[in-house]
Structure 1
Amino acid sequence: MIDRKIRCDRGTPTCQNCVRARKQCQGYGLRLSWPGIHDRKRAVRGHLPAVRSQANRELNHRLFINTSWWDIEFFRHITSNGTTPFPLLAQPAQPLWIHPQPGLKQTDLVHYFHNAAHLSLVTFSSKTLSIRDVLIRMALTNDKSPGRALLYALLAVASLHRSGLQSEAVQFKVSALDALATSAKAGLQDWAEAAQHIQLPSESSGEWLWYVQGAMRIIEETNLEAKSDDSGVGELLDWVYYHDSLAQFAKRHWGHSTVTRDTRPSGQCPSLANGRPGHYQRHAPAVLNLLCEACTTVLDPIDPRSREEAYKARLQGLQSRIKETSIAPPAAKIDIIETGFSTELYRMTTLIYLVRASQSPWEASSSPELDALVDQAFSVPLQMPACDHFFPLFILGCEARTDGQRATILGMIERTEKGPHVRSMKRLQAGIQSVWAHHDLHADSDVVVNYVRMMNAVISSHSTLPSYV
C-alpha cells in the first residue's frame, strides 16, 4: 500500500484499512513475511498463476522469494539501531584462472584494446571512443616511465578483457605499477606526464579508490584543470571526476574503519569535488556536482541536527537545483543525446536518493510527487536495451516494490551483462535483492524503513568498497 504507516490487513482484492483511510492499495505480490507468534507453519506452498502473457511468463521465470540467513541478519542489523555488526554478503565466485591465447603480442593487445576492450571503460556518457584515443595516444607518445606505465595498464586491461584472469594480465599490471612508482620517485616534469599518471583502476577490489584519489591529487598539485582545453586532457578530467563523484556515495555509507589511504575524513569530498573550477564546469554535467553535494549534505533522520531549520532549508534548496538540472551545454564537446539520457537518469535518481535519505521514519513513506518520479523512471529509462550506470540502477532497484518492477530491474541487469562491456553486475544485483527482502520483511511495520541505515548496511556488507560507476 502507499502509506506504510497504515498496517495492511492482507485482505483481497484490497485491504479494508486502505479503504477506510481512502488510500489506493497497491497490494503485494509474492513477498517475505514474519510468521505470527503462534503460527506453527514455517513454510507455505502456493500455486503460480497461469501463464497467459509474455509478462506473466517473465514474472514466473523470476523467483523473488529467495532469502537466506544473511537477509535475516541484515534486517536485524538495521532494526537494532546498528548495535549488531554489519553482516557480510557472500562474494560472487571469481572466474577460474585460465591461460591466455597463445601467440598474442603486445601490438595485438593494443589493437584489441582499440577495437573491443575500451568498451569496458566507464564514463558518464556511454561513448568511450574519445578517451580510448586519448589513452592510446599518450601511451605511445614516448618511452618514459609515465608512458610505459600507461601502456602496461592498457595491455593489462586488454589481456584481462580478451583472455580472462590469467598470469599475463597480472604481469602487465605489476609492470604498470613498477613504472608508475619509478615515475613518481623521479617527479613529474610537465602536465603531459601528469596526465599519463591517471591510471585505469581495478573496480573488483578496494584499490580503485586509491587510484582515483591519487589522480585527484595530481590534478590539484599540477593544476592540470588549467589545461582542460588541450587535446585529451578534458576527457581525462571527465573520467576522473565522474569516478570521484560516485566514490562519495559509496564512502558516505561505508561503515568500516579502513576504506581509504586518504587522510581526509571518510565521506568528505576533495576540494575540487566541492567547488570545481570554471575550466572543468564546461565539461562536467552539473548533476554530478549535485550528487556529490547530496552525499555530503544529508544526515541520518534520527540525528538531532536534521530537525534544524537551516538544514531543512538547505535540503529544499538542493532539491530545487536538482529538479532544474539541464543537459550540459554544447561547448562541453560531448554527445548530447547520450549525455542527455545520462543526465536525466542521474537527475531522477539523485532526487529520489535525497528525498529518501532525508525522510523521517515517522512520516509517510511516499508522496504523490515521489511516486510520480519513480513511475517515470520505470516507464522510460529502464525500458532501454541496457544501462551501464550502476548508481541509477541501484537507487531504482531499491524502489522496486511490485513483481513487475523487480522483473524490470532484473531484466535490465541481464540485458546489460550480455553487452560488450564485460562488467560483472553480480554484487550490484545481490545488494538490490537484499533490499527487496528487507522491504518485504519490514512492510507491515508501523514506521518506514530507515533509508540511510539500510544503505549503510548494504554497502558495508561487501568486503571491499563497491564502485557504483
Structure 2
Amino acid sequence: MPELYLLLMKMSLADETPSALAARHAIAGLSYQHLGQHKTAAMHQTKSLRALQTVIGRLAAGDLEATQALRAMAASMLLNIFETLNFDRSPLHWTIFFCGCKKILNLFHVPHTTYEGDPALILDWIFYHDTLYKFSERHWYPRHPRLVQLAKQEKIISKAKLSPMRHIILPITGCSLHLLVLLSQIVDAVHDRTDPRHLSPSHLATIHSLEQQLSALTQLPSNRISAALNADDNKHAHEPAAGLPPEESAETRQAELYRLAAHIYLLRVARAAPPTDPTVLALVDKALDLLRRSSPGCSRPWPLFVVALEARTDAQRRVVSDALRDGLARRPLGNLQIVRRMVHAAWVQIDLHAESGTGEDVMGVYNTVVSGLRVPPSFT
C-alpha cells in the first residue's frame, strides 16, 4: 500500500497543526510498537490521542476544514490499528477510535458522490476496515454494543453506485469495492440457526442472488482502469470490460481468492451447506490451488481464515500453513498472527467434531474461535 503510506507521511509532516501532530504521533507509536519498545509506543499513542481530542473539539465548534478532517480520520484509523495490534496489552478498545473516525466521516461525506485522489484513498481504507469489522461483530459473543452499532451503520464508499471504478482491485483492500459491498451483504444474510428467517424462502432467494452476483463478478487489475472506463459498447459504460479478462498476477490471484472465500462463506455459513457439498468442494479446491500457486503468498487475513476453516486433510492444511508462514514473513506486524492462532483453534474444534461423530456446523466454529479472544479480532 505505498500510496497510502506516502499519503499518511505527507499528512503527518504537513505542518504543526493538531491534526498533523495526531497523525505523526500515531505513526511513531506504530513504529515503536514494531520495534518492541512498548513504553515509547504508548507515549506517542497518548500524544496522538491528546492532539486528536483538540481536533475533535474544534470539529464540535464547527471550526474544521476538510483537510483537517481528513487528517483527523487518518489519525483515528492509525490509533485504531495500534489497538488491534496491541490487543493483548492495552485496556483500550479499538472501536473507540473507529467509531470516532466514522463520526467525522459522516459529517463530511456527500452521498452518491465519486471521490478521487487523497479523499478516495482514505475512504477506501475506512470502508475496508468497516466491512471486515462487521464480519467480526457477527461472530463475536457476547455482542459488543459499539460493534453492533458499527455493523448497522451505512457503509460509506468512495465511488457512486454505478461507477465502473468499483470493479478495480485496490492495493489497500486486495480486492474491488464491489466485492466488499457483496461481502457486507453476505454478512447480513447470516442468521442464527434458531432465527425463523434462516433458510426461509426470502432468505434462500437472497442467497441465490448473492451467488449469482459473485459468479458474475469481474475484478480488474489497477493497470486496466482505462480499459474499464473506455469500454467500446456505450450500453455497458457502467460495467467492467468483460471482454478483457484480467491477466494472471499476484494482484488478480489475491482478488480471486477474496471472491472464492466470499462464495465459500456464503454457502457454508449463510446457507449452512455441509463441507461435502459439491459446489463447496469445487470452490475450496480452486482456493487451495490459488494458494499453492501464489508466490510469495497471500497476506490478507480474511480470505486465508475462511479457506483455512475448510481444510480437512493434512495436505490441505499444509497449503494453508505455508501461506500463513509466507504471509507472516511479509507482514509480521499485521493481524495474521492472530488469524494463525484462530485457525489452529478451529482445526482442533473441527477434528473433535469429526472424532465424536456429532457433525459440524461451521458457524459454531466461527463463533467459538472469534469469541475466544479478549477483544473482537481484526481481519484487515
Q: Scaled by the length of structure 2, what TM-score is found?
A: 0.79
- Who is 2:233 aligned against? none
Which has a greater percent of helix? 2
Unmatched tracts of structure 2, length 5 or more? 167-175, 230-245
Q: State the SS of the aligned residue for 2:309.
A: helix
Equivalent in 192, 197, 202 of residue 67 of structure 2 = 192
Whether contact under 8 Å (1:301, 1:357) holds in the other structure is no
Q: How many residues align?
A: 335
Whether contact under 8 Å (1:327, 1:339) holds in the other structure is no
Give RMSD over aligned pairs. Answer: 2.8
Percent pairwise identity: 23
- Aligned residue runs from structure 1 range 139-178, under 5 A: 139-161=12-34, 163-178=35-50
Q: Which amino acid aligns with 1:220?
A: N
Find the aligned partners of 1:279 and 1:146 in 2 and give their Cα distance: 33
- Who is 2:276 aligned against? 366
Find the aligned partners of 2:99 and 2:164 in 1 and give their Cα distance: 19
- After superposition, what is the alpha-carbon deviation per residue over 1:89-129, rounded to whole angstroms, capped at 9, x for unaligned? xxxxxxxxxxxxxxxxxxxxxxxxxxxxxxxxxxxxxxx11
Q: Which amino acid aligns with 1:464?
A: V
Cα distance change of structure 1 residues 274 and 281 upon mapping to structure 2, 3 Å threshold: same
- CA drift of 1:382 comes to 4.2
Find the aligned partners of 2:39 and 2:70 in 1 and give their Cα distance: 28
Q: Which has the higher contact order (CA 8 A, sep 6+)?
A: 1
Find the aligned partners of 1:279 and 1:138 in 2 and give their Cα distance: 31
- Who is 1:330 aligned against? 225
Equivalent in 141, 146, 171 of residue 261 of structure 1 = 146
- Who is 2:181 aligned against? 289
Whether contact under 8 Å (2:120, 2:158) holds in the other structure is no
- After superposition, what is the alpha-carbon deviation per residue over 1:347-401, rounded to whole angstroms, capped at 9, x for unaligned? 10011001001344xx754222211110111112344222211111111110110
Between stretches 273-282 and 216-225, larger displacement belongs to 273-282
Cα distance change of structure 1 residues 330 and 274 upon mapping to structure 2, 3 Å threshold: closer
Find the aligned partners of 2:162 and 2:3 in 1 and give their Cα distance: 19
Find the aligned partners of 2:164 and 2:130 in 1 and give their Cα distance: 15
- CA drift of 1:339 comes to 4.4
Cα distance change of structure 1 residues 309 and 231 upon mapping to structure 2, 3 Å threshold: closer
- After superposition, what is the alpha-carbon deviation per residue over 1:43-95, rounded to whole angstroms, capped at 9, x for unaligned? xxxxxxxxxxxxxxxxxxxxxxxxxxxxxxxxxxxxxxxxxxxxxxxxxxxxx
Q: State the SS of the aligned residue for 1:465.
A: coil
- Aligned residue runs from structure 1 range 419-434, under 5 A: 419=330, 421-423=332-334, 425-434=336-345
Q: Which amino acid aligns with 2:217?
A: T
- After superposition, what is the alpha-carbon deviation per residue over 1:20-58, rounded to whole angstroms, capped at 9, x for unaligned? xxxxxxxxxxxxxxxxxxxxxxxxxxxxxxxxxxxxxxx
- Who is 2:208 aligned against? 316
Find the aligned partners of 1:314 and 1:247 in 2 and give their Cα distance: 22
Q: Scaled by the length of structure 1, what TM-score is found?
A: 0.65
Whether contact under 8 Å (1:285, 1:343) holds in the other structure is no
- Who is 1:137 aligned against? 10
Unmatched tracts of structure 1, length 5 or more? 1-127
- CA drift of 1:343 comes to 2.1
Cα distance change of structure 1 residues 132 and 458 upon mapping to structure 2, 3 Å threshold: same
- Who is 1:453 aligned against? 364
- CA drift of 1:234 comes to 1.2
- Who is 1:270 aligned against? 153
